């Protein structure tokens, strides 16, 4: 049985406005913002507003909202970052690679022949994140 949801996780704090983020999309069900340690330019995280630790405790409807938003972000990221492809990842529990325990989908624009950076390998400059957020917001139009 997975552990209980912790309302003090970093993404819950972003949802409450206690931690800053570079928001690119929001509706009543989800929030999408840039990863501050991106594995590719434009790496975006899509999270539910519902308090869900991961796929094991989110409702199917709330998960569907996250998937729809990730779909929308992926299409916009192809344009915004002149990408050749998109990688979408979602990890569950420590054994599954999850590090932050609020469900999230990674949407990563990709270029042919360019490897993803290792996870959490470097914090991006704020100006780069601001510029990438502007590009993605414009593509979401």
What distance in Å separates the CA atoms of residue 94 and residue 73, rounded to the nearest whole number? 26
Provide the pLDDT for residue 3.
Answer: 85
What distance in Å separates the CA atoms of residue 126 and residue 130, rounded to the nearest whole number? 6
Provide the pLDDT for residue 2.
Answer: 66
What distance in Å separates the CA atoms of residue 123 and residue 113, rounded to the nearest whole number? 22
User: Per-residue confidence of the chain (141 residues) as pLDDT tens digits?
Assistant: 668 999 999 999 999 999 999 999 999 999 999 999 999 999 999 999 999 999 999 999 999 999 999 999 999 999 999 999 999 999 999 999 999 999 999 999 999 999 999 999 999 999 999 999 999 999 999
Provide the pLDDT for residue 63.
Answer: 98
Catalytic residue among 43, 65, 104, 106: 104
β-sheet bridge partners, residue 32: 25, 46
Q: Which helix (H) or strand (E) holds 46?
A: strand 44-48
CATH superfamily to which 10-140 belongs: HIT-like (3.30.428.10)
What distance in Å separates the CA atoms of residue 129 and residue 38, rounded to the nearest whole number? 9
Provide the pLDDT for residue 75.
Answer: 98
β-sheet bridge partners, residue 45: 33, 106
CA end-to-end span of the chain:
41
Q: What is the dihedral of CA 87, 131, 71, 139, to 10 degrees?
A: -130
The contacts of residue 95 (CB under 8 Å, 6+ apart) are none
104 catalytically annotated: yes
Burial 119-132 (b: 16+ CB within 10 A, else e): eeeeebeeeebeeb
């Amino acid at each position: 049985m997975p552990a209980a949801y912790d309302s003090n996780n970093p993404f819950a704090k972003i949802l409450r406005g206690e931690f800053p983020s570079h928001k690119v999309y929001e509706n009543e069900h989800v929030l999408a913002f840039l990863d501050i340690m991106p594995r590719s330019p434009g790496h975006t995280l899509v999270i539910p507003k519902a308090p869900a630790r991961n796929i094991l405790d989110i409702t199917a409807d709330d998960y569907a909202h996250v998937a729809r938003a990730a779909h929308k972000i992926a299409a916009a990221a192809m344009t915004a970052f002149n990408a050749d492809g998109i990688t979408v990842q979602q990890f569950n529990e420590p054994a599954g690679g999850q590090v932050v325990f609020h469900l999230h989908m990674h949407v990563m624009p990709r270029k042919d022949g360019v490897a993803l950076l290792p996870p959490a390998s470097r914090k991006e400059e704020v100006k780069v994140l601001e510029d990438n957020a502007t590009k993605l917001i414009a593509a979401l139009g």
